[in-house]
Structure 1
C-alpha cells in the first residue's frame, strides 16, 4: 500500500515538474518572439521621425526619399510569400532558426541605413528589410498557429501584435534626444502648399564646424541621428542571436511536445476551395492597414495645416495620442480574446472606427476636442482589427502554413497605394485625407460582411456534405443487411 501511495506521489510530482518546465519553455518562446516583434515596430516606425535626415543624407527631397516606403511594402509581400513556399516545400524545415537569421539581416539593414548616401542604395536596403519583415511576420504568426491552433493562439496572436505597437511607440522616443542634439529646428510652416522646397528649407540639421587645418579623426562628423539606427540595429541583432540559439535548442519542439492537444492538425484545403474567401479577405486587410497607416501618417499634417491650426507641439501630442490608444487597444486585446469571439471583437471595432471617423469628417475640422477624442478612439479600435482578423480567418480554414502570406497581400498593397493617395489629397486640402480614412473604414464593414457570408455558406455546404456521407453509409448498411438476409434465407 505504501509503495502504491509512493508511486502515486512520484507520478504527481513528475507531472508538476513537467508542467513547470512546459510553462518555462512557453514563456521563453513567447518572450523572445515578443521582443523580436518590438524590433519590427522599431524598424517600421524609426523612418518617420528621421525621414528628413535620410533625405538630407542621400541629397534628395522628401518626395523621392519616400520611395523607401513603396520598396519596403513590396518586400513585405514577397517575404511573406517566400515563407509560405519554403515551409510548404520543406516539411522538416526549422522555421524559428530561419526567423532568427532573418531578424539578424533586419538588424544589419537598420545598422547600415544612416551610412548610405545613395538614394537607390537606401531603397534597396529598405526593400531587403521589408522582405525580411514580411518573412518574419508570416513566420512568427505561423509558429503560434501551428503550436496552439486557432483557439489557443488567440491571446498569443494579440500579444504578438501588441509587441509591434510597443516598438512603434518607442521609436520616436528613442529618436527625440538625438534629433534635438543634431539641432533639428523648425522655423516656419511645413504645410504642403509651401512646396517641397519650403519643406526642406524649414528643417535644418545643423552640422558643427570642423577645423580643416588638420586631418584628425575628430574632423569627421558623426551625426547624432545615426545613433537612432545604431541602437535599434544593435538591439535587433542581439535578439536575433538569442532567437537563433533557442531555435538550435529546439524550443519549438519542446513547446509542441507539451502542447499536443491544441496543436494545429487540420489539413489545408486546396486553393480552388478557398480562393473566393481570400478575395474579400485581401480587401479587408487592405482597408484595415490603410485606415491605420494613413491616419497616423498624416494626422500631424492635418492638425498643423487645416483649419484646426494646431501648433507643432499640439500636433506631436495628437500623434502620440493615437499611439497611446493603439497600444491600449492591442494590450486589451490580449485579455479580451479570452472572453469574446474574434467576430464579436471585429464587429465592435469596425462600428467604432467608422462611427468615430464619420464624426471626425463632420465636426473634426472645427471642434478640436472632437479631433482629440476621435484620434484616441480610432487608435483604440483599429488596433485589434489585424490580429483578431488572423484568429477569425483561422476558424474558417487552416492558415498556418501555405496561406499565411494572404494577410500580407492586402497589407502591402494598401501601404503601397494609399499613402501616395493620401499625400495627393493632403497637397490640395489637408483635412480631406480624413474622408479617405472614413471611406476605408466604411468599406471594411462591407468586406467583412462578405467574408462572413462566404464563411456561413461554406459551413452549410460542409454540413450538407457530412449528412450526405452519413446517408450513404446508412443506406450501404441496409443494403449489406438485405444481402446477408437473402443469403441466409437461400439456405
Structure 2
C-alpha cells in the first residue's frame, strides 16, 4: 500500500513538472514572438529617416511636404491606442492577441506598398493607417503583458518589449545602407543643407565597393529595404496569429494566476488629475528621443560642427547603440530597482548631458559623440519605466492603456515640426529644444509623484474609514445581541 501511494505521488509530481515545462514553452513562444513583432515596429518607425529623400522624390514633393506623413502617423498612433482601449472596455471577453496578429499583418502590407506610391496624399493616408496599426499594437501588446503578469512581475517583460523596438530601429539603417549606396551611385539620392548647394557630394564609396547585386532598372534600389521589412512583418504576423488560435494567453495565465492584474479600474473622475502630468511626462520623453534621433544626423552635418556624411551616419548608429544598450540593461535593472529610481537616474542623466551639449557642444565635436551615446542610453528606459510606475498607482492594463500614447503622440506631432522650424533658422538650436524638453520632464515627474501621493493618502483614508465603520457596526451588533439576551432572561 505504501509503495503504491508513493508511486502515485511520484506520477503526480511528474505530471506537474510536464505541465510546467509545457507552460514554460508557451511563455517563451509568446514573449519571443511579441519581441520579434516589436522589432518590426522599430523597423517601421526608423526606416523613414534614411529614406525620406527617396519618398519625397517618389511623390514629387520636397522634404517639408513629405514630412506631413509624420503628422499623419502620429495621429494614427493616438487613434489606434484609443481604439484598443475602447474595444477592451466594450467587450469584456475580448481576446486581443488575434487582433494584434491581424494588425501586424496590415502593417506589413503598408510597408510593402509604401515605396511604390507616387502620390503625396496616398503616402500620407497609407502612413496614417500604418500609424493606426502601430498605436493599436503598441497599446495591445503592453496590455497583454500587464494583464498576464501584473504590475510588478511584468516589469522585465515591458523592458524587453521596448528593447525590441530599439533593435529594429538600429537594424533599419543597416538594412537600408546598401540600397542607399546603390541609389547614390545611380544618382537617385541627394539633399542639401539650408543655404548650401550640396553637402552630400561625398559618396559612400566603401558601401559601393561591397555592393554586387544590381536590382532591376525600373525599381529604385531603396524600394527593396521596404520589401524586406514588409515580408518580415508578415511572417511574424502569421506566427502571432497562430499562437492566438492556440489560445496561448489562457495557457500562460493558468501558470501565473497569482500575479495577473486583477485590480478594478479607478474612475476617470479620480484619475484625470493624475493623467495630466503623466501625459506631459510622455510628451517630453518621446519628444526628446524622437527629435534627437531625427535631427542629430542633419545637425552634425549642417551646423558649425560640419561632420562628414560618413561621420553623421556613424553618429546615428552611436545613438541607437546607446539606446539599445539602455533598453537591454533595463530588462535586468528592472528586477533590482524600482521604476521611480530608474526614472530619476535617467532624467538626471539626460538633462545633465544635454545641458553640457547646449553649452559646449558646438566648440567640441568630440563631445557630440559622447552626448549622443549617453543621451540614447538614458532616454531608452524612460518610456517603459513610466509604464511600470504608472501601473503601481492604478490599473493601466485595460481602458487607460491609451494614455501613454496620448502624451507621446502629442510630443512627436508638435515637437518634430518645431525642431524643423528651429533647424531652418540655426541647425544647432534643435539641441536647445531637446534640453528644454529634458528639464521640463523633471518637473512633470515631480508633479506625477505629488498627485500620486495625494491619491494614495485618499485611498488609505477611505480604507481606514471603512474599517472603522465596520468595527463600529460590529460593536453595536454585539451590544444589541447582549441587550436582547438580557431581555429574554
Give TM-score scaled by structure 2 length. Answer: 0.94
C-alpha separation between the residues in 2 aligned to 1:45 and 1:256? 34
* Change in CA separation of 1:78 and 1:199 when aligned onto 2, cut-off 3 Å: farther
What does residue 211 of structure 1 align with?
Answer: none
C-alpha separation between the residues in 2 aligned to 1:60 and 1:429? 23
Q: Is contact 1:187–1:202 with CA below 8 Å preserved after alignment? A: no
- Give 3-state SS (helix, strand or coil) of 1:309's partner: coil
| Among candidates 292, 297, 311, match of residue 295 of structure 1 | 292
Question: Within 5 Å, which residues of 2 pair with 1:133-148?
Answer: 133-148=134-149
| Among candidates 171, 192, 195, match of residue 193 of structure 1 | 195
C-alpha separation between the residues in 1 aligned to 2:359 and 2:467? 57
What does residue 351 of structure 1 align with?
Answer: 348
What does residue 99 of structure 1 align with?
Answer: 100
User: How far off is 1:87 after superposition?
Assistant: 1.3
- Give 3-state SS (helix, strand or coil) of 2:256's partner: coil
Q: Is contact 1:114–1:226 with CA below 8 Å preserved after alignment? A: yes
What does residue 214 of structure 1 align with?
Answer: none
Q: Is contact 1:189–1:202 with CA below 8 Å preserved after alignment? A: no
User: How far off is 1:224 after superposition?
Assistant: 1.2
What does residue 210 of structure 2 align with?
Answer: none
C-alpha separation between the residues in 2 aligned to 1:428 and 1:414? 21
User: How far off is 1:238 after superposition?
Assistant: 0.8
What does residue 79 of structure 1 align with?
Answer: 80
Question: Within 5 Å, which residues of 2 pair with 1:48-63?
Answer: 48-63=49-64
- Give 3-state SS (helix, strand or coil) of 2:362's partner: coil
User: How far off is 1:246 after superposition?
Assistant: 1.1
C-alpha separation between the residues in 2 aligned to 1:353 and 1:137? 24
What does residue 121 of structure 1 align with?
Answer: 122
Q: Does 1:390 pair with 2:402?
A: no
C-alpha separation between the residues in 2 aligned to 1:189 and 1:126? 22
Q: Is contact 2:343–2:382 with CA below 8 Å preserved after alignment? A: yes
C-alpha separation between the residues in 1 aligned to 2:194 and 2:127? 25
C-alpha separation between the residues in 2 aligned to 1:90 and 1:467? 34
Question: Within 5 Å, which residues of 2 pair with 1:456-467?
Answer: 456-467=453-464
Q: Does 1:482 pair with 2:479?
A: yes
- Give 3-state SS (helix, strand or coil) of 1:192's partner: coil
What does residue 441 of structure 2 align with?
Answer: 444
User: How far off is 1:12 after superposition?
Assistant: 1.4
Q: Is contact 1:22–1:255 with CA below 8 Å preserved after alignment? A: yes
- Give 3-state SS (helix, strand or coil) of 1:393's partner: helix
- Give 3-state SS (helix, strand or coil) of 1:193's partner: coil
* Change in CA separation of 1:449 and 1:39 when aligned onto 2, cut-off 3 Å: same
Cα deviation per residue 1:259-306 (whole Å; 9 max; x = unaligned)?
111111001111101111000000000000000011111111221122
* Change in CA separation of 1:187 and 1:178 when aligned onto 2, cut-off 3 Å: closer
C-alpha separation between the residues in 1 aligned to 2:114 and 2:170? 20
- Give 3-state SS (helix, strand or coil) of 1:307's partner: coil
Q: Does 1:307 pair with 2:304?
A: yes
What does residue 150 of structure 1 align with?
Answer: 151
Q: Does 1:405 pair with 2:402?
A: yes
User: How far off is 1:255 after superposition?
Assistant: 0.7
* Change in CA separation of 1:173 and 1:135 when aligned onto 2, cut-off 3 Å: same
Cα deviation per residue 1:58-106 (whole Å; 9 max; x = unaligned)?
1111110111100000000000000110111112222100000000100
User: How far off is 1:186 after superposition?
Assistant: 10
Question: Within 5 Å, which residues of 2 pair with 1:252-291?
Answer: 252-291=249-288
- The farther-off stretch of 469-478 and 319-328 is 469-478
What does residue 376 of structure 1 align with?
Answer: 373
Q: Does 1:171 pair with 2:168?
A: no
- The farther-off stretch of 246-255 and 475-484 is 475-484
* Change in CA separation of 1:387 and 1:415 when aligned onto 2, cut-off 3 Å: same
Equivalent residues, number: 476
What does residue 320 of structure 1 align with?
Answer: 317
Unaligned runs of 5+ in 1: 205-217
Unaligned runs of 5+ in 2: 204-214
Q: Is contact 1:190–1:202 with CA below 8 Å preserved after alignment? A: no
C-alpha separation between the residues in 1 aligned to 2:423 and 2:334? 37
| Among candidates 245, 248, 251, match of residue 251 of structure 1 | 248
Q: Is contact 2:193–2:199 with CA below 8 Å preserved after alignment? A: no
* Change in CA separation of 1:187 and 1:21 when aligned onto 2, cut-off 3 Å: closer
What is the aligned-residue RMSD (CA, Å)?
1.9
Q: Is contact 2:283–2:411 with CA below 8 Å preserved after alignment? A: yes
- The farther-off stretch of 64-73 and 297-306 is 297-306
What does residue 208 of structure 2 align with?
Answer: none
User: How far off is 1:193 after superposition?
Assistant: 2.9
C-alpha separation between the residues in 2 aligned to 1:68 and 1:114? 13
C-alpha separation between the residues in 2 aligned to 1:58 and 1:203? 25
C-alpha separation between the residues in 2 aligned to 1:201 and 1:338? 46
What does residue 9 of structure 1 align with?
Answer: 10
Give TM-score scaled by structure 1 length. Answer: 0.94
Q: Does 1:420 pair with 2:417?
A: yes
* Change in CA separation of 1:12 and 1:324 when aligned onto 2, cut-off 3 Å: same
Q: Is contact 2:277–2:447 with CA below 8 Å preserved after alignment? A: yes
C-alpha separation between the residues in 1 aligned to 2:110 and 2:323? 27
